[in-house]
């Protein structure tokens, strides 16, 4: 019932255009999840598969992709496709679209989940790593959404779910580039959702706090204090919240009880007060030992 009511609101300004929609007449809808072979992306894909959607997992490693796809197929019996692709490629959107058309599908929902993090002093990060983060967390998200969203608005259905972070609400010392990239994702999503409101496409950003995945270990932040002090739900729980609120039409999705409270606090607390707190939480443990703290 809630989803149906949300459909009416999301499509309040949409008007069908049969001539334009004819190009998808012989194609079926699919949910595309970038970075869908593991972690939160995999769990989001599972949630859509549970609802009977055809899921397309996009990631760079074919072996991980096939393992993830086989797991979802075995659990739900739904169609799961894979595309081995680096989404930072300039033609990534065109490759996804062509691959899906060749298999009889179109992108109905796009989940921009692929991302990377960096931990440590900004001035010590290699320039190529910062460039890679910007390419993946900002450029790829922007261009994939720009490519697929117009058709969603023509069809009056589907949408884009960008995976951000609670860290996007504050500057993040020791994770400076990562926090800044997620601030961009939140800002972009909210602005585009306002511009496109009522045209039939859901546009949302999922902004969780820490989640129990390998992401923090990979970025070198596993021993920072926030990993000890802030509760981290499992990816399945977080994914359930993301997909449910996406279906219900919320634009900014922060899971749990603590998440929304922290989001409000980080918006209200002045940066001169907030920055030392965030820096204390994000500072790697090794640096704290060296400082005698």
Q: Hey, which residues are catalytic here?
A: 178
How far, in Å, CA of 280 to CA of 72, rounded?
40
User: Which tokens go with 254?
Assistant: 């922060």
Residue 169 CB partners (closer than 8 Å, separation 6+): 183, 186, 207, 262, 263, 266, 267
171 and 178 Cβ atoms separated by less than 8 Å: no
Query: ∠ CA(30), CA(36), CA(39), 5° rounding?
Result: 140
Q: What does the alpha-carbon distance between residue 139 and residue 239 come to, in Å, rounded to a whole number? A: 24
Among candidate residues 91, 44, 69, the one with its CA nearest the CA of residue 237 = 44
Measured distance CA(38)–CA(40) in Å, rounded:
7
| DSSP 8-state assignment for residue 41 | H
Report residue 203 as tokens.
Answer: 């546009």
Find the DSSP H helices in the chain: 2-10, 18-21, 39-50, 62-76, 92-102, 127-134, 141-155, 176-195, 215-218, 226-229, 235-247, 258-268, 271-282, 285-290
Which residues, including other chains, have CB under 8 Å from residue 123's CB and lie 6 or more apart?
A: none
């Amino acid at each position: 019932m809630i989803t149906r009511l949300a459909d009416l609101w999301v499509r309040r300004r949409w008007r069908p255009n049969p001539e334009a929609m004819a190009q998808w007449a012989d194609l079926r809808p699919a949910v595309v999840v970038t970075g869908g072979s593991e972690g939160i992306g995999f769990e989001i894909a599972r949630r859509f598969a549970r609802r009977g959607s055809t899921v397309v997992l996009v990631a760079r490693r074919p072996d991980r992709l096939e393992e993830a796809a086989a797991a979802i197929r075995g659990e739900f019996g739904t169609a799961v496709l894979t595309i081995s692709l680096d989404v930072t490629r300039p033609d990534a959107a065109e490759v996804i679209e062509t691959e899906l058309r060749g298999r009889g599908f179109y992108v109905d929902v796009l989940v921009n989940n692929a991302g990377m993090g960096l931990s440590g002093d900004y001035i010590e990060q290699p320039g190529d790593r910062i460039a890679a983060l910007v390419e993946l967390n900002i450029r790829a998200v922007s261009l994939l959404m720009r490519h697929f969203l117009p058709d969603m608005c023509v069809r009056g259905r589907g949408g884009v779910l960008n995976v951000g972070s609670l860290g996007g609400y504050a500057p993040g010392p020791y994770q400076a580039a990562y926090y800044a990239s997620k601030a961009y994702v939140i800002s972009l999503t909210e602005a585009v959702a306002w511009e496109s409101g009522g045209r039939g496409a859901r546009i949302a950003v999922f902004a969780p706090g820490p989640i129990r995945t390998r992401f923090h270990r990979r970025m070198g932040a596993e021993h920072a204090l926030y990993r000890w002090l802030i509760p981290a739900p499992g990816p399945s729980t977080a994914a359930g919240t993301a997909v449910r609120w996406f279906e219900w039409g919320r634009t900014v999705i922060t899971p749990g009880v603590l998440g929304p409270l922290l989001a409000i606090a980080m918006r209200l607390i002045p940066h001169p007060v907030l920055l030392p707190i965030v820096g204390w939480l994000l500072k790697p443990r090794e640096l704290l030992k060296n400082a005698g703290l």
